């Protein structure tokens, strides 16, 4: 600490080091230059964005501070927490979560065979459209080319029908009432088998952990969905 003499007229040189806390004591008593530096950091924090953890911002700014200078308080240690803007991704990004009319939820796109047994599934946010995930459902699962693909009106589009025909699959998707140039023929007898898909979805929702989305990450939630579908397959084998 630099001494201040009342007799002299010259002011002592103030250290311009970015570290505010030095030594084993964490106080602001000292030269006015350090307090001025702290005010500059406060203005910088308010100019950027509101930060909940202000100590982490000071810790990142004082990068030349030694690891052992914080004493017994581990919260001042640089390795205790990630610094502000350290590149670590948090939150609900890419976790198959989205807000729809039903609330904040996850949508499970299920692919089954003609008997209603699950083959594969795909997770998206609750706001995702069924129409844009039709080609994904055609490509996932075992390498088997089905003869027909059944879906509700949510999959009605020319691009989806063309994608199915390019794979040698007959699309059995009903047309919307406002569709222009609607064909006269539609395979109604084949489309009745779509009820088995709805029954498979109902069996999946019987699992409380699946219906409530108790997992935070999409990987954990997908693992439980696969486990529940496995239970459905095992039960169908024993009851056959």
Question: Once rounded to an integer, what is the mean pLDDT over residues 144-172?
Answer: 92
Structure tokens at 26: 């964490």
User: The domain that contains 164 carries what CATH number?
Assistant: 3.30.420
Q: Name the burial class of residue 200, with classes exposed (0-12), middle (13-18) and buried (19+) by CB atoms within 10 angstroms of its CB.
A: buried
The domain in which residue 200 lies consists of 98-239
Q: pLDDT tens across 18-75, in order?
A: 444 344 344 444 555 555 555 555 455 444 445 455 455 445 555 554 444 444 454 5
3 falls within a domain: no
Q: pLDDT tens across 207-232, in order?
A: 999 999 989 899 999 999 999 999 99
| Residue 125 in this model has a pLDDT that exceeds 60 | yes
| 78, 129: one domain | no
Where a domain ends, among 88, 110, 133?
Answer: 88
Beta-strand relationship, 103-112 and 118-125: antiparallel
Question: Once rounded to an integer, what is the mean pLDDT over residues 13-20?
Answer: 46
Calculate the alpha carbon distances from 216 to 55, 87, 151 in Å: 28, 20, 30
| 102, 76: one domain | no
Cβ(25)–Cβ(69) below 8 Å? no
| 82, 118: one domain | no
Task: State the total domains in the chain.
Answer: 2
82 falls within a domain: yes
| 138, 37: one domain | no
Tell me what pLDDT residue 5 has: 46
Structure tokens at 99: 């807000």
Q: Which residue has the higher pLDDT, 48 or 136?
A: 136
Tell me what pLDDT residue 20 has: 40
1 falls within a domain: no
């Amino acid at each position: 600490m630099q001494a201040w003499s009342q007799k002299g007229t010259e002011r002592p040189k103030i250290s311009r080091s970015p570290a505010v806390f030095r030594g084993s004591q964490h106080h602001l008593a000292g030269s006015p230059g350090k307090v001025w530096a702290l005010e500059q950091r406060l203005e910088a924090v308010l100019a950027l964005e509101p930060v909940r953890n202000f100590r982490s911002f000071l810790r990142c700014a004082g990068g030349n501070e030694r690891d052992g200078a914080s004493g017994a308080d581990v919260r001042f240690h640089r390795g205790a927490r990630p610094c502000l803007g350290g590149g670590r991704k948090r939150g609900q990004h890419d976790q198959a979560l989205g807000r729809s009319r039903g609330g904040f939820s996850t949508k499970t796109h299920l692919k089954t065979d003609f008997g209603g047994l699950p083959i594969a599934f795909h997770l998206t946010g609750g706001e995702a459209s069924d129409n844009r995930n039709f080609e994904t459902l055609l490509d996932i699962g075992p390498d088997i080319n089905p003869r027909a693909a059944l879906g509700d009106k949510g999959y009605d589009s020319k691009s989806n029908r063309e994608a199915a025909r390019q794979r040698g699959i007959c699309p059995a998707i009903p047309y919307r009432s406002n569709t222009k140039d609607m064909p006269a023929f539609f395979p109604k007898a084949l489309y009745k088998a779509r009820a088995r898909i709805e029954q498979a979805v109902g069996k999946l929702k019987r699992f409380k952990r699946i219906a409530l989305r108790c997992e935070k990450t999409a990987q954990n939630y997908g693992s439980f969905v696969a486990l529940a579908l496995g239970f459905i397959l095992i039960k169908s084998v024993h009851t056959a």
